[in-house]
Amino acid sequence: MTTLTVLIENTKPDGLPLIAEHGLSFFVETEQMKFVFDCGHTGAAVDNAKILGVDLSKIKIVALSHSHYDHAGGFPKFLDFAPIKTVFTGENFWEEKFSNENYRGCGFDKNFLAERGIAQKICRDVIKIAETAYLVGNFKRRYAFETIPAKFLRGANKIPDNFDDEIVLVLRENDGLAIVTACAHSGILNIVADVHERFSLPIYSVIGGFHLVNANSERISLTFDELKRFGVKKILPCHCSGENFIKSCGEKILTGSIIKI
C-alpha cells in the first residue's frame, strides 16, 4: 500500500491549525521508501508536516513536477529539515517561467543544488524510483481541446511554454495505476493516455491538479467521458482544478488529506 499525505494545498479543513496556500506538496510513503512530490510555494508545507506528524528527517529524494513557484518554490526550506540528496525533474526545468510578464519560476537555479551537493536526475520518459512508484514525462499532445493558455511563457525570449519539463507521479494500484499530477499543464487526458500506453495497464485513480480553472462545461464533460473510458474510478482533484470541475467530482483533497492507494 502507498499513502499520500497532502502537506499543502490551496484549502484546508476548518478548525485545524494547518497553513493553506496556492500550491501543492505530497508526502509519499511506499513500502520501500518515503519521498516528497512537490514542495509548495513558501515552505509552509514543512510547518504542516510537523503538525501532521510527518517526519522529514530521512527524506533523501524530492521530485519536482515543474518549476513554477507554487510547486518548487518551497524546496529550499525542506533542506533545513531533510537530508535531500537527489532531486528529480523534467527536462528544461531551469528555463525561466512567466505568466504574461510576471516571473513565476522557482527562485533558485542549478548552482543552488550544486553548492549543496544535491544531484539532479532528469526524467525524459519513465524513471522507476521505487518498486511501485515511477516518474513519467514527455507527454504527447493527443487532445486538441487541451490547450495551454497563451499567458504561460518561458525562457529569456519569453516564448510560449509547452511545459515539456512537466512530470507526474505514477503509482501501482493493485493490477492498475494511480496518477498523481501537480498541475496537468500538458492536459490531463494527454497525460492519462500516455501513461496508459506506456504501462499497458488500466488507470484506476487520478489525483491532484487538473488545470481546468477556466474550462467550460463541454470540456469538463469531455474530460469525464474520456477518464471513464480509460477505466478511472476515483478522481480526487485539488489546487488548480477549478471549482466547476471539483463540484462535478463531488469531492476534493485538502491540506492534511491522507489518501491510501
CATH code (residue 187): 3.60.15.10
Q: Cell numbers of 14, please?
A: 476548518
Q: Are 169 and 37 in contact (CB under 8 A)?
A: yes
pLDDT in tens, the chain (261 residues): 999 999 999 999 998 899 999 999 999 999 999 999 999 999 999 999 999 999 999 999 999 999 999 999 999 999 999 999 999 999 999 999 999 999 999 999 999 999 999 999 999 999 999 999 999 999 999 999 999 999 999 999 999 999 999 999 999 999 999 999 999 999 999 999 999 999 999 999 999 999 999 999 999 999 999 999 999 999 999 999 999 999 999 899 999 999 999
Predicted local confidence at residue 94, as pLDDT = 97
Q: Which residue has the cell 513500502?
A: 31
Question: Which of 27, 45, 37, 46 is CA-nearest to residue 66?
Answer: 37
Q: For residue 125, is it left (φ>0), alpha (ψ between -120 and 50) or beta?
A: alpha
Range of the structural domain that residue 174 is part of: 3-260
Predicted local confidence at residue 199, as pLDDT = 97
Rounded-to-integer distance, Cα 185 and Cα 232, Å:
19
Rounded-to-integer distance, Cα 228 and Cα 94, Å:
35
Predicted local confidence at residue 181, as pLDDT = 98
Helices marked H in the chain:
44-52, 69-72, 75-78, 110-115, 188-199, 217-229, 243-249
* Percent of the chain's residues with pLDDT above 90: 97
The per-residue pLDDT for range 122-145, each reduced to its tens digit, is: 999 999 999 999 999 999 999 999
Predicted local confidence at residue 156, as pLDDT = 92
Neighbouring C-beta atoms of residue 225, cutoff 10 Å = 10
Q: Are 99 and 211 in contact (CB under 8 A)?
A: no
- Number of domains into which the chain is organized: 1
The per-residue pLDDT for range 176-209, each reduced to its tens digit, is: 999 999 999 999 999 999 999 999 999 999 999 9
Give Rg (Cα) of the chain: 17
Strand order through the sheet with 102-103: 102-103, 97-99, 152-154, 159-160
DSSP H helix total and E strand total for the chain: 7, 17
Q: For residue 59, which amino acid is it?
A: I
Predicted local confidence at residue 91, as pLDDT = 94
